[in-house]
């Protein structure tokens, strides 16, 4: 999700592993060694994916300036779970010098109707929230959205692959090693740093 935050100055993305520790209330998340920099300092908003259980992606968003938390589950939010997320976020934020009070915001949104699309829904919700969309969060047809996200992913990889390919063409070295009488040769390739 970092590509989403690049267009939003002051918005920090948190990776799923860190978000899981924060929202599960892990004491490790509140230690001074967790997340090397204080991501809340100077930020106006925080967001990231939250893996619920071991197989369901949801979205967490916090507007630090307004003191609001938005938690979106494409299968529907459970009030007790939302309360627990708010409590755990409050503990984490306080450990970073960012006192509440925090208010949980309810957003009306489309729901997924399959068991596979939670990640795509979470990305769509993140984009809509970061773009400032108000009201009901209505998603595109899932097949269309998967195609769009796939194109974004491959386009971003294409630039990196081209750069790496150009670098490697100058640095690759090879050696051919015979494997014995009548057997094929093994080709070893490695990167030689100039």
What is the predicted pLDDT for the residue at 159? 53
Percentage of the residues of the chain whose pLDDT score is greater than 90? 53
Per-residue model confidence as pLDDT tens digits over 41-82: 889 999 999 999 889 999 999 999 999 999 999 999 999 999
Q: H helices then E strands: how many in the chain?
A: 5, 7
pLDDT range class, residue 30, cuts 50, 70, 90: confident
Residue 192 has pLDDT above 50, yes or no: no
DSSP state at residue 183: S
Mean pLDDT rounded to a whole number for the chain: 82
Contact in structure between 28 and 22 (CB atoms under 8 Å): no
pLDDT greater than 50 at residue 157: yes
Handedness of CA 41, 131, 153, 171 (dihedral sign): negative
Q: What is the pLDDT of residue 33?
A: 72
User: What confidence score (pLDDT) does residue 127 get?
Assistant: 92
pLDDT at 191: 47
Q: How confident is the model at residue 7 (pLDDT cuts 50, 70, 90)?
A: low
DSSP letter string, 35-89: SSS-TTTT-SEEEEEEEETTTEEEEEEEETTTTEEEEE-TT---HHHHHHHHHHH
CB contact at 8 A, 134 and 153: no
pLDDT digits over 84-138, tens only?
999 999 999 999 889 889 999 999 999 999 999 999 999 999 999 999 999 999 9
How far, rounded to the nearest angstrom, does the alpha carbon of residue 51 sit from its chain's CA centroid? 10
Q: Is the pLDDT of residue 166 over 70?
A: no
User: pTM of the entire structure?
Assistant: 0.76
Beta bridge partners of 11: 45
Position 2 confidence tier, pLDDT thresholds 50, 70, 90: very low
pLDDT of residue 4: 52
SS3 175: strand
Bridge pairing between strands 172-178 and 185-191: antiparallel
Q: What pLDDT, on a 0 to 100 scale, did the predictor assign at position 165? A: 52
Report yes or no: 1 and 16 within 8 Å, Cβ to Cβ.
Answer: no
What pLDDT shows up at residue 189?
Answer: 46
Domains of the chain: 2-139 (3.40.395.10), 153-191 (no CATH)
């Amino acid at each position: 999700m970092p590509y989403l935050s690049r267009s939003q100055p002051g918005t920090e993305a948190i990776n799923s592993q860190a978000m899981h520790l924060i929202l599960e209330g892990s004491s490790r998340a509140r230690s001074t060694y967790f997340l090397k920099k204080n991501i809340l300092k100077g930020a106006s908003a925080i967001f990231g994916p939250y893996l619920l259980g071991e197989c369901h992606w949801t979205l967490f968003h916090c507007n630090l300036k307004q003191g609001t938390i938005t938690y979106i589950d494409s299968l529907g939010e459970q009030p007790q779970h939302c309360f627990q997320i708010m409590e755990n976020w409050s503990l984490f934020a306080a450990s970073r010098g960012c006192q509440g009070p925090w208010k949980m915001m309810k957003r009306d949104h489309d729901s997924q109707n399959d068991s596979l699309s939670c990640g795509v829904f979470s990305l769509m919700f993140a984009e809509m929230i970061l773009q400032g969309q108000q009201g009901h969060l209505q998603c595109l047809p899932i097949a269309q959205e998967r195609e769009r996200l796939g194109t974004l992913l491959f386009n971003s990889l294409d630039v990196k692959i081209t750069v790496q390919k150009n670098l490697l063409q100058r640095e690759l070295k090879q050696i051919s090693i015979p494997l014995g009488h009548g057997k094929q040769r093994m080709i070893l390739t490695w990167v030689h740093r100039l």
